[in-house]
Amino acid sequence: MFALADVNSFYASCEAVFRPDLRGKPIVCLSNNDGCVIARNAPAKALGIRMGTPWFQLREQVFTEKINVFSSNYSLYANLSHRFMMLLEEMSSRVEAYSIDECFVEATGIDRYMPFEEYGQQLREHILRSTGLTIGVGLGESKTLAKSAQWASKEWPQFKGVLALTRDNPRRTEKLLSLQPVEEVWGVGSRTAKKLQVMGITTALQLARANLAFVRRNFTVVLERTVRELNGESCIALEDAPPAKQQIVCSRSFGERITTYDAMHQAICQYAERAAEKLREERQHCRHISVFIKTSPFSVNETYYGNVASEKLLIPTRDTRDIIAAAVRALEHIWLDDRRYAKAGVMLNDFTPAGVAQLQLFDDVQPHHNSEQLMKVIDGINHSGLGKVWFAGRGTAQSWQMKRELLSPAYTTRWSDIPKARM
């Protein structure tokens, strides 16, 4: 038995945790550089605000109620996500983080001590009491059924945020699947959904009753697995540890256009530094570093330019100095003057768990002395909350940094931003 715990309107809910005055009010969160709507809570949806609406359009519209708009506060969201997952681990022996706001929880055998839906309510109460976040919980004999149950727990308020699909109540499962559109089924993409609809399969129940040979012949093994899961056959096990990443990308759109090499050099150094930190978090080494830069394809009267260059190292590394040096070399191959660059990024590939390689006879490249110790010290300082250290190449006056004019305080990660209670 699987349980899926999902935080309701996660980004918007995080903004309201430390702002009791905003609870029940319309909240909207914006993408990088305050571009467009990427999250909204239920009151904002009720006002007709749609995902992807550009901020410049939204602020010109008149609504019957004030809209509370925030820039994306990634440090706050990441911290509350971590707390949410740690609290779930207090209630189950196995938890799999599926996304920043969703976790699968092992629930097998819970019904020996309490009904499944009572367990789901306990999860809700535990998370709400400890974080102020409200979650929905769906339970089923497969991950796909748990996902469908969680979808239904949000669609119909009579379930009070928790719904269990069990073998001893097949009529409930059939009823739910008959009401769930096929495009809402976990694992069914938009293209697959359109093809299924053309074939007359419009609901999850119709998909569950589809012939497996027909599905395999006309679609993929992945959809066949989804059909099996909808019928209660568990085909996707819990992952105790996420699979190792095959690529790390660190990129951003600039708050203002970059026109000088020095500014781009600073940006690439910063992205390379962050990518190297992520690489060490994955306990990996890499030997392939790529850099891309591009102008905006939407700029009027400007010729679009975008390019990418790569460097391959002889020895796999996770030393920030090596990655910055390779990224800067790659940048030099593709930089063009007289361009207004809108975005750049650094990509790491070709991972190995050990920084060992077979050198040629005349190779004189050697790893940095005490590299591991130095990187450990740097990461320790940067994660301590007491201060930050960085490489000089990224500079200090970064006018090109991402625009976040509506950013909320770092309530959980900066001492000066901790809310103060009024006596």
| DSSP reduced 3-state for 48 | coil
Whether the per-residue pLDDT at 138 is higher than 80: the answer is: yes
Is 90 exceeded by the pLDDT of residue 130? yes
pLDDT of 363 > 80? The answer is: no
* Fold: same for 1-6+75-243 and 248-394: no
| Rounded Cα gap, residues 345 and 290, in angstroms | 8
Q: Compute the distance between CA of residue 25 and CA of residue 67 in angstroms, rounded to an integer.
A: 8
Q: Which of 379, 376, 363, 368 lies closest to 323 in space, CA to CA?
A: 368
What pLDDT is attached to residue 358?
A: 58
Q: What is the per-residue pLDDT for 256?
A: 87
What CATH number was assigned to the domain covering residues 1-6+75-243? 3.30.70.270
Q: 267-297 b/e with 16+ CB inside 10 Å = b?
A: bbbbbbbbbbbebbebebbbbbbbbbbbbbe
Output the DSSP codes for 163-199.
EE--TT-HHHHHHHHHHSBGGGSTT--HHHHHHHHHT
Banded model confidence at residue 220, pLDDT cuts 50, 70, 90? confident
The whole-angstrom separation of Cα 304 and Cα 316 is 34
Pair 406, 281: CB distance under 8 Å: no
Task: Give the largest Cα separation in the chain, rounded.
Answer: 75
Q: How far apart are CA 330 and CA 311, in angstroms?
A: 6
- Provide the Cα torsion 96, 52, 17, 85; round to 10°: 10
pTM of the complete model? 0.81
Q: Which residues pair with 295 in a beta bridge?
A: 341
Give rounded-to-5 percent helix, strand, coil for the chain. 40, 20, 40
Token duo for residue 405:
């004019």
Q: Do 210 and 227 meet the contact criterion of CB atoms below 8 Å apart?
A: yes
Q: Which two tokens stand for residue 8?
A: 């309701």
Is residue 368 very low, low, confident or very high in pLDDT (cuts 50, 70, 90)? confident
Asked if the model's pLDDT at residue 208 lies above 80, the reply is: yes
- Count other C-beta atoms under 10 Å from residue 83's C-beta: 15
pLDDT recorded at residue 356: 59
Residue 365 confidence (pLDDT) above 60? yes
User: Which CATH architecture is the domain 248-394 placed in?
Assistant: 2-Layer Sandwich (3.30)
Alpha carbons 194 and 295: distance in angstroms, whole number: 35
Residue 241 confidence class, pLDDT cut points 50, 70, 90: low
Q: Can you count the helices (H) and strands (E) in the chain?
A: 14, 12
Going from N- to C-terminal start, the domains of the chain cover 1-6+75-243, 248-394
pLDDT beyond 90 at 417: no
Residue 363 to residue 346: CA distance in whole angstroms: 26
Q: Does residue 35 register a pLDDT over 70?
A: yes
> Does position 374 have pLDDT exceeding 60, yes or no?
yes
Please count the other Cβ atoms lying within 10 Å of the Cβ belonging to residue 132.
15
Query: What confidence score (pLDDT) does residue 396 get?
Result: 74
Average pLDDT over residues 114-136: 94
Length reported for the chain: 423
- Mean pLDDT for 227-244 is 84
Provide the terminal-to-terminal Cα distance of the chain, rounded to the nearest Å: 48
Three-class SS state of 297? coil
Nearest of 284, 269, 308, 296 to residue 390 by alpha carbon: 269
Backbone angles phi, psi at 201, to 5 degrees: -100, 105
Q: How far apart are CA 54 and CA 248, in angstroms?
A: 28
pLDDT, position 300: 83
Which of 62-76, 323-337, 401-415 comes out lowest in average pLDDT? 401-415
Residue 200 is predicted with a pLDDT of 92
CB atoms within 10 A of CB 137: 28
DSSP H or E segment with residue 4? strand 2-7
> What would the mean pLDDT of 184-208 be, rounded to a whole number?
92
